[in-house]
Amino acid sequence: MSSQLESIEVFLEPADSFRLANLCGPFDDNIKQIERRLGVEISYRDNQFKITGQKDLVVPVAGLLRDLYVETQIVKGKASELDSEQVHLAIQSLKVLEQTASDDEIGKESFIKTKRGVVKPRNPNQSKYVHNVLTNDICFGIGPAGTGKTYLAVACAVDALERQEVRRILLTRPAVEAGEKLGFLPGDLSQKVDPYLRPLYDALFEMLGFEKVERLIERSVIEIAPLAYMRGRTLNDAFIILDESQNTTVEQMKMFLTRIGFNSKAVITGDITQVDLPRGQKSGLRHAIEVLEGVEDISFNFFRSHDVVRHPVVQRVVDAYERWDEIKQREQKAKKEAAKKDHDA
C-alpha cells in the first residue's frame, strides 16, 4: 500500500443534525472506530467531513461514510440507530484494512503514550509485537519470562482506553495451582485468586497510578477476573488480555477466543515452557498455535532468550534451561532409536 498521504472532503446530503449525530455515535465512537481500524484521520463540521490518510484508503473511507449515512435515514419519523456492530461489518466489507508495514514504519509506530510517560519497546521483536497488537484483532505473545509480553500489552490497553478507542479493559488469567493448593490460602475466593493476578495489577498501577486504577475498577471500567468468569459473556468495546495462557486447557482457550465481540481487541500471552496443567493435559496455547496459524487478523509473536529485558542473569537462566531441554530431547530420541533397533533385531 502506498505511504503517500492525501486528504479529501465529502458532503453528506441531506444535512440533518440527528442523522449526523447518529453517524458519529456517542462521543464520536463510530468515527474513532473507523479511524483506528483503517488508519485515517476524520474531522468534520456540520455535514462536511475531511478524511486524511493513505492515498489508497481515503476514497473507500469516503464511500464508507456515505453508505453509513444512508443507514441513518429517517423511516416513519424515526432515524435508524447506528451501532458499533454495523460500523464493524461495514469496515470489514471494504477489505482494505491496513497491510503489514515495513520494519522502519513499525519502529515509528510502536511508541505507547500513557499519562505516566512513554513506553518504548527495547528491541525489534518488542516493536513488532506492539505493532501487531495495534493492527490485529487478536495477537499472541509467546516466550519466556522477562520479555515484556504482559507489560506491553497492558500499556497498549491503557493507551486505547485513554484515547477512547475502547470503553473498558478486561484482564484475566487461569487460576491454576503451581505447586500450591488454593484451598490453603486465607480469605474468600476473590482473595485467593488475587495473588495470581498481581502482575496485572502492578503494570496498571505503574501506568495509571494506584488511586485511578482503584476508581476505574470500582466503576467496572477495568475488570480483573479469573478466566472461569468469562464463560457465557460477549465482550464488546473492550481491550482483553489473557495472561499465562499456557495454563489454559484447549476448551478454555476456545471459550475465551469466542467471547470477543465487536470493536474489541484481545492479546494472549504465555510461555509454553512453563505449563502447570496436570500431566497429560494439552495446553490450550500450544493447541491454538497449531490451529490458528495463518488465520486472518490473528498474529503470533515468538520471543526468545535474547529478548529478555530483565536482569541479565534471567537471560542466562532461560538459555540454561533451553540447553538442558535440548539435551534431554536428544537423549530421549537416542533411547527410542536404540529400543527400536533392539526390537527389530
Percent of the chain with pLDDT over 90: 25
Q: Average pLDDT of 128-138? A: 90
Q: Could you tell me which residue, 180 or 110, shows the higher pLDDT?
A: 110
180-211 per-position pLDDT tens digit: 444 555 555 555 566 667 778 888 888 888 89
Confidence band of 179 (pLDDT split at 50, 70, 90): very low
**68 close to 49: Cβ distance less than 8 angstroms:** no
Task: Write phi, then psi, for 164 (nearest 5 degrees).
Answer: 60, 30
* pLDDT tens figures, 317-337: 777 877 887 888 888 888 888
Looking at residue 111, what is its pLDDT?
67
pLDDT at 66 over 70: yes
Cis-peptide, bond into residue 14, ω within 30° of zero: yes
Q: What is the mean pLDDT of residues 247-273?
A: 90
From CA 38, how far away is CA 61, in angstroms rounded? 8
Q: For residue 241, is pLDDT > 60?
A: yes
Q: How confident is the model at residue 55 (pLDDT cuts 50, 70, 90)?
A: confident
- Tens of pLDDT, residue by residue over 291-312, are 998 888 899 999 887 777 665 5
Nearest CA-CA partner of 58 in 100, 99, 9: 9
- Please say if the pLDDT value at position 217 is more than 50: yes
Separation CA 233–CA 80 (nearest Å) = 27
Q: What is the pLDDT of residue 334?
A: 85
**Which pLDDT does position 103 carry in this prediction?**
47
CA dihedral 287, 200, 160, 149 (to 10 degrees): -50
Residue 260 CB-density burial (10 A; 0-12 exposed, 13-18 middle, 19+ buried): middle
pLDDT at residue 174 above 80?
Answer: yes
Bigger pLDDT: 84 or 221? 221
What is the tens place of the pLDDT at every residue in 5-15?
788 999 999 88
- 95 backbone dihedrals φ, ψ, rounded to 5°: 55, 40
> What is the model's pTM?
0.65
Whole-angstrom Cα distance, residue 325 to residue 327? 5
Q: Position 12: which residue type?
A: L
Lowest mean pLDDT among 17-31, 154-168, 298-312: 298-312
Q: Is the pLDDT of residue 269 over 50?
A: yes
Does residue 138 have a pLDDT over 90? Answer: yes
In one letter, which amino acid is 142? I
